[in-house]
Structure 1
């Protein structure tokens, strides 16, 4: 345990006494589990692809290290600094998303990535935290009584983001972003009538996607009627849970991962179920729930509208993404390529989640120290 005196005014000491250490510990536990599970889930996939058996483990370790550095660095920032980071980052990610349509490789019918050396960047992952915080900043102006059309501006920005996501296309991220945006609008006081209209438009969008995009229709059809198409991955995942039982077959002893194409990414929770059992799966789910509950508890008495809307949106994104991934693994939701936060392999997803959770830690700090000396990270500043 790090020991700092409360009278110590150093940057690290002030950070240590103001950050939510329990939430930080839970996030670090997830990061460590992610590396551990990479050791058991990814070698079989790497060997099947003709790569070194530790290929994904090494890259996962690098991403996790960068993620931990990002979380700690961003958690030291003030709310003002977090807002500036999001406002600058959002247009950059939108430009990068536009570039994917021109120069991005097409993978499984989608153009969501940019190849930068040996690293494949997915800009839409970074879009999520930047969009959520920017939307919170816009809506908070309305809650502070400023005379600007905040909800209209937030709505226009939302339509732009959804348009860019659909062009890729990425309906999973579209649904995630839309759900968080509607929740933020509700917290900002949007009338129930308009929330109903927004929800109806979302359902209409799903219907249009089903009618116009064959891969969307195929996934929904296979979910409703498994006999209508290929359900190999879902079937293998359910086989893994059945094989693992309550306590699992033991680390590295799982057999289903040998034939599961996305065992190290979208279906890593199935590997957990087979090798560590349903009890471990529930414990992992409780770990995610603990982070969400801890984050939301901070907002019960939050008086600053920006902090409340931004942190609530980021926590909801983290929780909903977790539920979508686990729901797909358990055949409770249609198949969708969405990672399990800090557990699944994926550099863009992991670094983007690190940015988001670093922002949550920054926005939920309490009892900030105010000192008269230079304050480069904005500790003295308020929104």
Structure 2
């Protein structure tokens, strides 16, 4: 019996850029991102109408916008993944300096949301430039740290730290402490992967501890959020945390059923930062374990691909980017489980938000571009 393909097969001799991109792209990571975005759009149907009715919007206002945001984020991810490593570096550097300029301007002209002046607002639209600064800084730092191999006498580690310190300072001036913490953890991951001495990690840890204590003592909003978790007997308002935990406990093993959640109407920001609790209430423990499994598998696959790369720049930057993706998911889930103070960080590809969706699209897009090639080809029976 003969078999005729429905579509023309691309021969091995085809060396066009599209064929090479298709062959070397990690389609497992791409599938994971699309799956997460699909779950996010499904959860927008669960939490979006309630949030829209509270604000007096059309019932499906957030649903329609989430579809457009997710589509844009995925398109941005796929377009960025087509870049060569050299072009990924060049574009990331340009975007980083543009984001830094906007983050500087935002201190004087930005719009304040939940105590942080992190947004530009244009009519009904808004933009958060810090979402672009995070992944592009990691690409820039990966390149700077890799220059030690070519020019070992240069002060590459110090220059890298200066860029990080400037960016961190702009985060703290907003203040966006959650974003600053996330960026710091991802930066330390890239620093460690680059092969710098462990004493640098010790210095970062000591400096981070001093900064954390200082912020707790000097910034009332930070102190209040930390105390709501680690000092539950205080007189602070724990309404949001209590309602989130109530939603998760009501979900049980298999949930209340699609659209049957009741506590979501009482949770502030249920469609953004606390979408995880809505999912737990309506779909139960099994569903959120599957969701966490998707994040874990994507992170493991990403770090595994990055570890195979011989090029120091691509290995360091990709490790930082995958850390950024994984840590943001961990922190958001930790907030929903009341084991991490509220940070304002959305759940990657799930929470509502255009800036966060674009930021995640860039993060995975740059990572996919950097791990293409030897980083994604299988080695042996088990890859």
TM-score, with length taken from structure 2: 0.93
Query: Residue 339 of structure 2 is aligned with which of 324, 332, 352?
Result: 332
- Following the alignment from structure 1 to structure 2, what is the Cα–Cα distance between the partners of residues 305 and 151? 14
Determine the structure 1 residue equivalent to 2:239.
Answer: 232
Is 2:187 the counterpart of 1:181? yes
Shift of 1:11: 4.0
- Following the alignment from structure 2 to structure 1, what is the Cα–Cα distance between the partners of residues 184 and 231? 26
Determine the structure 1 residue equivalent to 2:75.
Answer: 69
* Total equivalences in the alignment: 368
- Following the alignment from structure 2 to structure 1, what is the Cα–Cα distance between the partners of residues 62 and 149? 46
Determine the structure 2 residue equivalent to 1:309.
Answer: 316
Shift of 1:301: 2.3
Is 2:148 the counterpart of 1:156? no
- Following the alignment from structure 1 to structure 2, what is the Cα–Cα distance between the partners of residues 143 and 332? 41
Spell out, residue by residue over 1:145-200, the C-alpha distance to the aligned partner (whole angstroms, 9 max, x if none). Answer: 44321001001111111111111001111111111112222222222222111111
1:176–1:320 CA contact under 8 A, matched in 2: yes
1:265–1:344 CA contact under 8 A, matched in 2: yes
Query: Residue 78 of structure 1 is aligned with which of 57, 80, 84?
Result: 84
Q: Comparing 57-66 with 8-17, which one deviates more in the overlay?
A: 8-17
Query: Residue 10 of structure 2 is aligned with which of 5, 23, 33?
Result: 5
Query: Residue 282 of structure 1 is aligned with which of 286, 289, 298?
Result: 289
1:35–1:61 CA contact under 8 A, matched in 2: yes
- Following the alignment from structure 1 to structure 2, what is the Cα–Cα distance between the partners of residues 4 and 123? 42
Query: Residue 277 of structure 2 is aligned with which of 270, 275, 279?
Result: 270
The 3-state SS of whatever aligns with 1:354 is helix
1:143–1:188 CA contact under 8 A, matched in 2: no
Determine the structure 1 residue equivalent to 2:378.
Answer: none
Spell out, residue by residue over 1:110-140, the C-alpha distance to the aligned partner (whole angstroms, 9 max, x if none). Answer: 2110013422101111110010100001001
The 3-state SS of whatever aligns with 1:227 is coil
Within a 5 Å distance, the mapping from 1:369-380 to structure 2 comes to: none
Q: Comparing 176-185 with 186-195, which one deviates more in the overlay?
A: 186-195
Determine the structure 2 residue equivalent to 1:348.
Answer: 355
TM-score, with length taken from structure 1: 0.93
- Alignment CA distance shift 1:6-1:296 (3 Å): farther
1:6–1:13 CA contact under 8 A, matched in 2: no
- Alignment CA distance shift 1:218-1:189 (3 Å): same
Query: Residue 59 of structure 1 is aligned with which of 65, 68, 72?
Result: 65
Shift of 1:224: 1.1
2:193–2:319 CA contact under 8 A, matched in 1: no
